[in-house]
Amino acid sequence: MIRAIVTDIEGTTSSLSFVKDVLFPYAREHMAAFVTANADDPRVAALIDDVREEAGEALSQDAAIARLVEWIDQDKKITPLKALQGLLWEQGYRNRDFSGHVYPDAEQQLRAWHARGIHLYVYSSGSVHAQKLLFGHTEYGDLNGLFTGYFDTRIGAKADPESYRRIATEVELDADVILFLSDIEAELDAARTAGMQTLWLVREGEVAGAAGHRQVQDFSAIEI
């Protein structure tokens, strides 16, 4: 019996194009101005120090900004980058430059599962702050009340089975009663190695019966 569901965001609850065509370009365009304007904010200053540590260099502020933009272009899953992106996206949501994209089938099923008492969690490479912003500013309103908790790269890499073991420990459940949803096979492999049940979201293309994990087209096809 499934007692908890852990879901990815990009390509799973939400469109890949929203992240790649809206959020990432917004962060790239505004990163320099944001860091410069908020250099005295303790949160930003600490994250720039984390950038220096990650880079292994005593970077100037301008050089740190350039490195952040480079990481955005390379789609790096680096914690200080994700945290700064989250702060930037908060600005964008607040200014109503965009709203968080969630597929209609995901919104409906998340509400239904929540109503049944199934605990819902998010695990994404985007920061927890960014996750809450996306689900807090959707066309359906604020969906954060549906979720019991959130995980990002601070729990570990998404292709590392140990990350999923830590999640199971955090939510105080055996792994075999947790269902993990993602569109990335390596993540699903890691979750299954940790003992979780898995479902592969294939929102584009054909569902393959012989795939390494059971595939579904969207949330409406998931039976719990």
| Residue-wise pLDDT tens digits, 128-172 | 988 999 999 999 999 999 999 999 999 999 999 999 999 999 999
Which is more confident, 144 or 212? Answer: 144
pLDDT of residue 27: 94
Contact, 3 vs 173, CB < 8 A? yes
Domain boundary pick from 69, 94, 119: 94
| Residue-wise pLDDT tens digits, 15-35 | 999 988 999 999 999 999 999
Structural domain boundaries enclosing 83: 18-94
CATH no. for residue 196? 3.40.50.1000
CATH no. for residue 85? 1.10.720.60
Give the predicted TM-score (pTM) of the model.
0.84
Same structural domain, 128 and 217 = yes
Contact, 37 vs 211, CB < 8 A? no
Among 163, 155, 161, CA closest to 131: 155
Domain count, the chain: 2
Structure-token match 């702050």, residue found? 129
What number is the average pLDDT over the span 180-202? Answer: 97
Same structural domain, 38 and 72 = yes
CA distance 55 to 49: 10
Q: Which two structure tokens, joined as six digits, stand for 221?
A: 């096809």
Same structural domain, 192 and 122 = yes
Same structural domain, 103 and 142 = yes
Same structural domain, 74 and 50 = yes
